[in-house]
Structure 1
């Protein structure tokens, strides 16, 4: 079955270039009406121009689609609210939000200025929260919404010189978890993608042969699946070069330490058991983990009574 977006309205941030542009073009090709958002800044977030966004709009219109451009800075909630109002005035609704806008200011943590830490967190985390908040009530009223966060392997697993970027990207996974829980009753599905793509964000951190293999077009299939009508929710997919994986948080089986064992030395002695990943399991929500811990405590107390 072909996945279509006919009648759907999508906002894609950072859509003037790279991954966002390709996501937007494919959404339009599959029938969606688009708001092409791009602040137009450089890779580190400086400057600003609407030219890139307008070019993508022209591409979509030339192919027979419908699109408008928007230059909102995702860090500015008032501008983001205006963007959503513009979308609704033009198209009547907002069904899909792809939070793709991002910047890089890489340095080792020892050399990083806190202003650069804050700037990256502002764009990736606060920007995604701003955009999600701005569409949230509309999606609740419609009883339909699809939101995609953009995380990174740097956030999921760590990478040298990207403390600001990695912290923001991992935080987006937490935001996904919370919005999934709160949006479920209103058919709002929230997912996260960790892309590996040849863009201006990665052009100087990958060798040429790898850049050639990981064109943005190979990420977009996962992104669009995660915002489609039959999308899952609370899923993190990694995508690059045509390869796809899924990542999730898991917890080990609780180990109860009784009496004198509940000490610094006891944790050290039982550390191998506490970190035994053969016992791993996921939880649908935080209460699951709390319940597992408390069951271990109550069973342990009964056994030692």
Structure 2
């Protein structure tokens, strides 16, 4: 149970759901955990320090080390304060898990500017700002000759990588996070930082009303079943913890994780094409390009189809 012994780890959005399970497992594996959660509602409204503090109390009662943080990680100052708190409290920083998120599901025709902007702020800025602050700390450490094995794990979504009706804002942000992770990995390798992304499939308060399984999303987790289920959020955390370990070699990758399954995504690739010497005419393309619609995509291991079937 010491896979993360003495690793200083920040987990954002760790007061509930998947983030909470990350925090509990990381601490059980010996990590010193900064539990960040603004404590807002599923749509981002409001703030409440209770969820983060409850997770910290649970970790401490089990003999682990943790501290709560309530900053808004989508703000530059909040993200910097989060990184500073980790270093000041535990002496260093080794792992950043970007997990904070909200939902503002709307069909495109009825989506407001605020529905779009709020999602982009919490998800994209909420991943960018802490990652930038952590990267600057690690770059300074590297330049000072203090080499280390550092890791960023960001939370993408199947809504972004496979697509989902009613989530054009959320899906756009989540696919952006996957791309952000791949590029950040290319830039930060020189400082000993590995960056990966995970697209989890699990039942949480964010997904509960979408799945129509609970009368109240806020009540999810109140009565946890003892029977293992593929959609339990705790199933996601072991792989995230592995990505956070000191000697994990994986970098620049995105994964689908659900239940007992872990699948590797392949980034955008060209799978078919047309070519001629010279400029195409519209008439020539009309005669040949229609075949692109008939191309059958291979989602691999039927993982994608299982998402659509849920």
Alignment match, 1:290: none
- Counterparts of 1:214-293 in structure 2, within 5 Å, are 214-229=231-246, 230-249=248-267, 250-252=269-271, 255-259=274-278, 262-271=280-289
Q: CA RMSD in A?
A: 2.4
Deviation digits for residues 179-217 of structure 1 (CA, Å, limit 9, x no counterpart)? 0110112221111111111110111222549x9541111
Separation of aligned partners in 2, 1:176 and 1:76: 19
Would the aligned equivalents of 1:222 and 1:237 in 2 still touch at CA under 8 Å? no
Structure 2: gaps (5+ residues): 142-146, 215-227, 299-310
Relative contact order, higher structure (CA 8 A, sep 6+): 2
Deviation digits for residues 131-168 of structure 1 (CA, Å, limit 9, x no counterpart)? 10110022232443200111111101211111110110
Is residue 161 from structure 1 mapped to residue 163 from structure 2 by the alignment? no
TM-score by structure 1 length?
0.84
Alignment match, 2:99: 100
Separation of aligned partners in 2, 1:225 and 1:231: 10
- Counterparts of 1:64-143 in structure 2, within 5 Å, are 64-140=63-139, 141=141, 142-143=147-148
Would the aligned equivalents of 2:7 and 2:95 in 1 still touch at CA under 8 Å? yes
Would the aligned equivalents of 2:7 and 2:94 in 1 still touch at CA under 8 Å? yes
* SS of aligned partner of 1:248: coil
Is residue 57 from structure 1 mapped to residue 61 from structure 2 by the alignment? no
Separation of aligned partners in 1, 2:189 and 2:37: 29
Would the aligned equivalents of 2:154 and 2:177 in 1 still touch at CA under 8 Å? yes
Return the match for 2:211 from 206, 209, 232. 206
Structure ID, larger Rg: 1
Separation of aligned partners in 1, 2:148 and 2:240: 21
Structure 1: gaps (5+ residues): 281-305
TM-score by structure 2 length?
0.83
Would the aligned equivalents of 1:225 and 1:231 in 2 still touch at CA under 8 Å? no
Would the aligned equivalents of 1:33 and 1:91 in 2 still touch at CA under 8 Å? yes
* SS of aligned partner of 2:205: coil
Is residue 146 from structure 1 mapped to residue 151 from structure 2 by the alignment? yes
CA distance change for structure 1 residues 61 and 231 in 2, over 3 Å: closer, same or farther? farther
Separation of aligned partners in 1, 2:291 and 2:3: 48
Q: How many residues align?
A: 277
Residue 113 of structure 1 and its aligned partner are, at CA, apart by 0.5
